[in-house]
Structure 1
Amino acid sequence: MPAKKSKKGPTKGSGGKGRRSLEAKKGTLPAEQRHWYDGKQRSKAIRRATAEGSGTQARSPHTDTDRRRIDSDLLVGRNPVLEALRAGMPASRLFLSNSLDSDDRVNEAARLAGEQNVEVLEVTRAELDRRCESSGQPGAVHQGMVLRVRPYRYQLPEELLERSLGSDAPPLIVALDGVTDPHNLGAIARSAAAFNADGLLIPERRAAGVTATVWKTSAGTLARLPIAQATNLTRALETFKKAGLFVVGLDADGDALITDLDLAGGPLVVVVGSEGKGLSRLVRESCDVVASIPIGNAESLNASVAAGVSLYEVARLRAAQNS
Structure 2
Amino acid sequence: MSQTDSEAYLKKKQFFDSLLTVYGRKPVLEALQDPHTRAHRLHLSDSNKPAVILDQITELARSKGAEVLHHDKKALSRISRNSKQDQGVAVDLVCRDNQDYQTFLEQNQEQNVELIALDRITNPQNLGMIIRSVCAGGSRALLLPEKGCARLDALVIKASAGTLFRTPILRCKSLSAALQDFRQRDYDIYGLSSHADAGLQQIPPAGNKIFVLGNETDGVSKEVETLCNKMVSIPMNNGVESLNVAVTASLLAYRNLL
Q: After TM superposition, is the score higher than 0.5? A: yes
Alignment equivalent of 2:251, drawn from 300, 303, 309: 309
1:1-323 aligned within 5 A? 71-72=23-24, 74-75=26-27, 81-83=32-34, 85-90=35-40, 92=42, 114-117=63-66, 135=85, 149-150=91-92, 155-162=99-106, 165-167=108-110, 170-262=112-204, 264-296=205-237, 297-316=239-258
8 Å contact from structure 1 (residues 179, 274) kept in 2: yes
CA distance in 2 between counterparts of 1:249 and 1:71 reads 33
Q: Please give the per-residue CA displacement for 1:229-275, whole angstroms capped at 9, x wherever unaligned.
A: 3332122111101112111111101232113321x332111111110
Deviations 1:267-322 (A, max 9, x none): 11111111000011121121112111112333221111111112222434xxxxxx
Partner of 1:86, secondary structure, is: coil
SS at match of 2:257: helix
Give me the identity figure in percent. Answer: 29
In 2, the alpha carbon distance for the partners of 1:254 and 1:242 equals 24
Q: Structure 1: any 5+ residue segments left out of the alignment? A: 1-68, 98-109, 120-133, 138-146, 317-323
Instruction: For structure 2, list consecutive stretches of 5 or more residues without a partner in the other structure.
Output: 1-20, 44-50, 54-58, 69-83
Q: How many Å separate the matches in 1 of 2:226 and 2:101?
A: 20
Letter in 2 for 1:159: T
Corresponding residue pairs, total? 210
- The 1-side partners of 2:52 and 2:136 are apart by 29
- In the alignment, the residues of structure 1 paired with residue 177 and residue 158 of structure 2 have an alpha-carbon distance, to the nearest angstrom, of 31
* TM-score in terms of structure 1 length: 0.55
Report which of the two has the higher share of strand.
2
User: How many Å separate the matches in 2 of 1:245 and 1:270?
Assistant: 10
CA–CA separation in structure 1 for the residues paired with 2:244 and 2:185: 30
Q: Evaluate the alpha carbon distance shift between residue 135 and residue 278 of structure 1 in structure 2; reply closer, same or farther with a 3 A threshold.
A: same
In structure 1, what is the Cα distance between the partners aligned to 2:22 and 2:157?
15
Name the larger-Rg structure. 1
Relative to structure 1, the CA distance from residue 72 to residue 269 in structure 2 (aligned partners, 3 Å threshold; closer, same or farther) is same
CA 1:193 to 1:96, structure 2 compared with 1: closer, same or farther past 3 Å? farther
TM-score, normalised on structure 2?
0.67
Q: 1:186 to 1:266 in 2, by over 3 A?
A: same
